[in-house]
């Protein structure tokens, strides 16, 4: 059977849990819920079948659902609870801290890491990946020469990032610099164990992390990439939307080929 004849692989995506219509809800909640749909569409456009992962009261039931997924995408959303990395939970810049969302996203990330399934973390997804690996975040980025959050009336801030030459990102995009769509007020501070920085903005802000191979590990590390920007955005260039999702699917197919045939 050829690769194209295989059934579409299942890619798990944890749903967004915050209610954009709740009284006093931050406008960014609605934006995160909307771009979630764009992420789902891009997973499908890359040739996979999205699986919307929802919370389960039974941890075994959640694991059973995740076991059917060949890879995972953890999208953007509100701020991760600072208590998870020892920071101030009362910081005034925080918004939409949702413990249920943290639990769901963390369960997906941990499953991907433990079972060595390809994983793409976007914005919040990258930040939580870093926290799970023991890293920390800047609670609120200071103003610099780079605009990381959109100006009033704009959907995104656009700036360039520099990609590390030997990174998975450089292999995906075949370039050392690229423009990205940005919309965040937090970023990685201390990098988590087993991760390395693979892209930075001009002001030094960490824009991407990825897992690196540990020669002492008993099994190879799966493709694990986190980006601070939003590849699902239509700016700055629609051609930059699909490559990361295709790369994830390429890794899924590579794992399939490497598995023993029954």
Question: How far is it, in rounded angstroms, from Cα 226 to Cα 136?
Answer: 14
- Which candidate in 148, 159, 230, 253 is catalytic? 230
Tokens standing for residue 78? 């509100």
Is 205 noted as a catalytic residue in this protein?
A: no
**Cα–chain center distance at 202:** 21
Say whether 201 sits in a helix, a strand or coil.
strand
- Which candidate in 69, 159, 207, 232 is catalytic? 232
> Strands 71-74 and 195-201, how do they pair?
unpaired
Contacts of 140 (CB under 8 A, 6+ apart): 91, 93, 185, 186
Could you tell me if 190 and 127 are in contact, meaning their C-beta atoms sit under 8 angstroms apart? Answer: no
Could you tell me if 253 and 117 are in contact, meaning their C-beta atoms sit under 8 angstroms apart? Answer: no
- Which candidate in 69, 123, 148, 253 is catalytic? 123
| Other residues' Cβ atoms within 10 Å of the Cβ of residue 11 | 27
Is 230 noted as a catalytic residue in this protein?
A: yes
| Other residues' Cβ atoms within 10 Å of the Cβ of residue 89 | 11
Burial per residue of 150-176, b for 16 or more beta-carbon CB atoms within 10 angstroms, e otherwise? beeeeebbbbebbbbeebbbbebbeee
Place of tokens 């020469």: 145
Is 232 noted as a catalytic residue in this protein?
A: yes
Question: How far is it, in rounded angstroms, from Cα 48 to Cα 74?
Answer: 15
Q: Is the peptide bond before 77 cis (omega within 30 degrees of 0)?
A: no
Query: Which positions are annotated as active-site residues?
Result: 123, 230, 232
């Amino acid at each position: 059977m050829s690769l194209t004849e295989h059934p579409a692989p299942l890619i798990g995506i944890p749903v967004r849990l915050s209610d954009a219509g709740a009284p006093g809800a931050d406008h960014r909640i609605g934006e995160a819920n909307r771009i979630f749909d764009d992420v789902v569409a891009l997973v499908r456009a890359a040739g996979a079948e999205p699986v919307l992962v929802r919370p389960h009261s039974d941890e075994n039931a959640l694991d059973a659902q995740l076991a059917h997924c060949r890879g995972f995408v953890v999208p953007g959303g509100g701020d991760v609870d600072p208590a998870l990395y020892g920071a101030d939970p009362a910081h005034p810049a925080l918004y939409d801290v949702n413990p249920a969302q943290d639990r769901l996203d963390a369960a997906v990330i941990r499953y991907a890491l433990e079972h060595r399934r390809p994983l793409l973390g976007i914005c919040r997804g990258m930040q939580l990946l870093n926290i799970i690996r023991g890293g920390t975040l800047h609670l609120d980025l200071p103003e610099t020469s780079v605009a990381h959050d959109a100006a009033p009336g704009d959907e995104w801030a656009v700036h360039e990032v520099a990609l590390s030459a030997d990174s998975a990102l450089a292999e995906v995009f075949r370039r050392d610099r690229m423009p990205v769509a940005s919309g965040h007020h937090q970023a990685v501070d201390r990098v988590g164990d087993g991760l390395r920085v693979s892209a930075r903005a001009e002001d030094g802000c960490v824009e991407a992390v990825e897992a690196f191979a540990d020669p002492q590990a008993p099994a190879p590390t799966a493709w694990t990439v986190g980006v601070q920007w939003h590849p699902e955005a239509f700016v700055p260039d629609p051609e930059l939307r699909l490559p990361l999702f295709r790369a994830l699917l390429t890794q899924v197919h590579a794992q399939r080929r490497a598995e023993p045939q029954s």
